[in-house]
Amino acid sequence: MVLNGKLVAAKVQDEVRTGVAQLRAATGVTPTLAVILLGDFPPSQVYIRNKKVACAEVGIATQDHLFPSGLSEADLLKLIQRLNDDPAIHGILLQLPLLPGMDEDRVVEAIAPKKDVDGFHPENLGRLLAGSPTVVPCTPAGVLEILDHYGIELKGQEAVVIGRSRIVGKPLAHLLLARHATVTLCHSRTQDIAFHTRRADLLAVAVGRASVVTGDMVKEGSVVIDVGINRGADGKLTGDVEFAGASARARAITPVPGGVGPMTVAMLMKNTYLAARRQLGAT
């Protein structure tokens, strides 16, 4: 079975659209997301465009802070401070990566935790680790949403995550752990990745390199979640998993495109809506 992320994302966005309309009716306030993009990295430009389209579709207003030719770290920190202090802004989307030489940790920490709609602030990551998450990073949250939509049981399952990024791998491992999976987190220094993947009931791959997982590495009857988005020499998008080989063995698998990708955007909408609700006292 192919797990249809587009469908699940549309469902989430429908719920957010309804919620945003109700919030506006109750408070007169439109949830507003400030969008910060530094530089001209083409993938980031695509992501920002998609996120802005989604905002428009669900009724979230956006405020652009786009700096194609860059901005100093000091000025970026000043901008973030101003957005933190502005009650009309409910969420701050700082598209990563930042410019070379910038201190990502320092900049991410400057965002007020309540406006951190990506869930990257240490306070929000800490809450996730503590087991009482407030804002969950969008991509791992989207993975859980797909699994829940299709009723995929996690309790007691062997879950293997490849990739330990702050954006995906680490938070996803914790979300799966919170659902009582037995979690193995593999990464670039793992000695024998195939040893782990072959016993995975749930395999989630977030490396950012095509064909990291081939069909022979997939356990028969498992669930495969492909978080990768890679552009091939032919210009086509592919995931981190060889789809043909893996889908012959897996019971369920996410495609690329149309799998996890749309979920990241949908969960950003949800996080922004929920952040606005909390700030407007409409919990």
Residues contributing to the site for ligand GUN (CB under 6 A): 93-96, 118, 138-139, 167, 264
Residue 156 C-beta: closest distance to ligand GUN, Å? 29
Q: Would you say 108 or 159 has its CB closer to ligand GUN?
A: 108
Residue 20 C-beta: closest distance to ligand GUN, Å? 20
Q: Would you say 108 or 218 has its CB closer to ligand GUN?
A: 108
Burial degree of 151 (CB within 10 A; 0-12, 13-18, 19+)? exposed
Catalytic residue among 95, 219, 226, 240: 95
Residue 277 C-beta: closest distance to ligand GUN, Å? 21
Burial degree of 263 (CB within 10 A; 0-12, 13-18, 19+)? buried
* Amino acid at position 177, single letter: L
Q: Would you say 55 or 252 has its CB closer to ligand GUN?
A: 55
Which regions of the chain does DSSP assign to beta strands (E)?
32-38, 61-67, 91-94, 158-162, 182-186, 202-205, 223-226, 230-231, 237-238, 252-253
Residue 135 C-beta: closest distance to ligand GUN, Å? 12
Q: Would you say 217 or 256 has its CB closer to ligand GUN?
A: 256
Burial pattern 86-111, b for ≥16 Cβ within 10 A else e, equals eeebbbbbbbbebeeebeeeebbbbb
Catalytic residue among 13, 51, 219, 240: 51
Complete edge-to-edge strand list for the sheet that includes strand 252-253 = 182-186, 158-162, 202-205, 223-226, 252-253
How far is it, in rounded angstroms, from Cα 279 to Cα 255?
A: 36
Q: Would you say 23 or 275 has its CB closer to ligand GUN?
A: 275
Residue 254 C-beta: closest distance to ligand GUN, Å? 16
Residue 99 C-beta: closest distance to ligand GUN, Å? 13
Q: Would you say 180 or 231 has its CB closer to ligand GUN?
A: 231
Catalytic residue among 114, 116, 118, 270: 118
- CB 280 within 8 Å of CB 23: yes
How far is it, in rounded angstroms, from Cα 32 to Cα 36?
A: 13
What is the rounded (10 degree) CA torsion for 50, 64, 168, 127? -130
Nearest-CB residue for ligand GUN: 96
How far is it, in rounded angstroms, from Cα 43 to Cα 175?
A: 27
Active site residue 51: yes
**Token pair in block for residue 233:** 């020499």
| DSSP tag of 115 | G
Q: Compute the radius of gyration of the chain from its Cα atoms.
A: 19
Known catalytic residues are 51, 95, 118
